[in-house]
Amino acid sequence: MTDTFSLLFVAICSIVLLTYLVVVRKVHAFVAILVAAAFVGLGTGMQASDVLASMQSGMGNTLGFVATIVGLGAMFGQFLEESGGIDRLAQTINKRFGEKNSQWAVVLTGFLVAIPVFFEVGLIILMPLIYSMAKKTGKSLIYYGIPLTAGLAVTHAFIPPTPGPVAVASILGADIGLVILFGFVVGIPCACIAGPIYATFLAKRLHVPVPPHALEASASTNRMENMPSFMTVAGLLLFPLLAILIGTLAKFALPDSYFKQIVMFIGHPFIALTLATIACFKVLGKNQGLSNDQIRNIASRGLEPVALVILVTGAGGMFKQVLIDSGAGQAFADVVALSPLPPLAAGFLIAISVRIIQGSATVAMLTAAGLMGPVVQELAFSPAILALMTIAIAAGATAMSHVNDTGFWIINRYFNISVKDTFISWTCMATLIGFIGIALVLILGLFV
């Protein structure tokens, strides 16, 4: 009992240390997580050489999977952005839905756009569309802006190949295909309720005019002259997701055969995203007259913003591995196993607690995944529960965004609203996503 208490105490102290470094000392998350991982190892009595070996193992095991998927996804998204594919997607969806259903068109656009591009990039690209719609109709900017941010936020948190769910899935050992499946099942209701439904309610009480700087906001100036067709963009976007889902279903549904091996190979995230990226090179590059050098430059630009994300993710895997090797993770797993609290709820609560304290959704996800990694190993969860755990942690890391989160201030700036109104709009929307998400995860957990 004493040993268990000591191990738990060190694990809790490591979270406090991590929070102190990030929040008070403003240390970069990558360095802060490394320090916390080393603290756990040395604090639990591991030999220094063993701590270093554990850290190296955790970093390598995580990056081998995450770096490949996030890197390919970043190049894929960069081509869709610079080719005008994102603009084409937004314009076509809004035209097909019509003005009467424009909110639903906006949330669907945000939901799809955030699959290949980061939240902030999607917001910057699509805000001119939101400004235009609000000006044209005279409605509050909230009426269209909240559905857009809800769609972007849900996909960014729940659906690979965005870095957050990929990182958590890697640390927990969850199947990416099942994470995509449950990400859609949970994410669509979250986006609908926190988006159009909440926006309609709020816009009647909070009128936000189009800000003076709206004319300054514009999409990327790097667009190619001829935008690709809607069907081309939709096909490129959906192919890797469908391939991964089919590969996952084949793993459980098809009998062992050569055909099953082919389907699973094509449906592996590495291969599905590689094929999609190569298709982008051809369809959005060569077919629009770009040279090999231009194609390579676009791909390289896509990789630039993900370097830090990949390193921080690797540090999260390192933290998990040290928790396991030190025994601190096992001690935490024993406590969770004996607790009346469902493990899915435990993952959510850890993530939301870290999110509230230090602001970063990424750090919240990685911290919660690190602590829950030993739990899922000890309790031998099914693949479906592992995928749901990924969504539960992502939901917790999405909720309660406030003044210590950069996303809070991005919305504050683009909507040109007060801090109070940012709480009422953005914070409440993100919190709705988090709590609706965990509610749906707990319900699904009863049936899988």
Per-residue pLDDT reduced to its tens digit, 78-136 = 888 888 888 888 889 988 888 789 999 999 999 999 988 888 888 988 888 899 889 88
State the residue range of the domain holding 220. Answer: 61-309+377-445
CA distances, 49 to each of 41, 46, 329, 437 (Å): 10, 8, 19, 41
Strand ranges, E, within 120-260: none
Indicate whether 214 belongs to any domain: yes
Residues 6+ apart with CB under 8 A from 201: none
Could you give phi then psi for residue 26, rounded to 5 degrees? 60, 35
- Decide: 158 and 187 in contact? Cβ < 8 Å: yes
Distance CA 126, CA 413 (A): 15
Number of independent structural domains in the chain: 1
**Token match 């424009």: residue?**
102
Name which of 350, 349, 346, 354 is nearest 404 in CA terms: 354
Decide which of 326 and 189 is more confident.
Answer: 189
Distances (CA, A) of 213 to 5, 36, 41, 218: 55, 42, 51, 10
Judge whether residue 413 has pLDDT over 50: yes
Contacts of residue 353, Cβ cutoff 8 Å, sequence gap at least 6: 396
Short-list 426, 443, 336, 329, CA closest to 392: 443
**Any residues with CB less than 8 A from the CB of 52 and at least 6 apart, and which?**
none
Tell me whether residue 337 is in a domain.
no
Q: Residue 286 domain-assigned?
A: yes
Element (H, E) at 87: helix 85-97
Alpha carbon 352 to its chain centroid, in Å, reads: 15
> Alpha-carbon distance 362 to 398, whole Å?
9
Q: What is the tens place of the pLDDT at every residue in 280-326?
A: 988 888 767 788 888 889 889 888 878 888 888 888 889 999 988 98
In a domain, 325, yes or no: no
Determine the pLDDT at residue 242. 93
- Work out the pLDDT band at 213, boundaries 50, 70, 90: low
Burial class from Cβ neighbours inside 10 Å (0-12, 13-18, 19+) for residue 252 reads exposed
Residue 149 in any domain: the answer is: yes
**Whether the predicted pLDDT of 2 surpasses 60:** no
Q: Which residues have C-beta within 8 Å of that of residue 275, sequence separation ≥ 6?
A: 239, 240, 243, 266
Residue 86 has a CB neighbour count (10 Å cut-off) of 27
Q: Does the model's pTM come out above 0.75?
A: yes
Residue type (1 letter), 267: G
Q: How far, rounded to the nearest angstrom, does the alpha carbon of residue 99 sit from its chain's CA centroid?
A: 30
Q: Please report whether residue 22 resides in a domain.
A: no
Residue 332 is assigned to a structural domain of this protein:
no
User: What is the per-residue pLDDT for 390?
Assistant: 97
Report the share of the chain in percent with pLDDT over 90: 51
pLDDT in tens, 380-396: 899 999 999 999 999 99
Whether 338 is in a domain gets the answer: no
Q: 377 versus 420: which is more confidently predicted? A: 420
* 330-386: pLDDT as tens digits: 888 888 877 888 999 999 999 999 999 888 888 899 999 999 988 888 888 999 999
Is the four-CA dihedral 235, 238, 244, 245 of positive or negative sign? negative
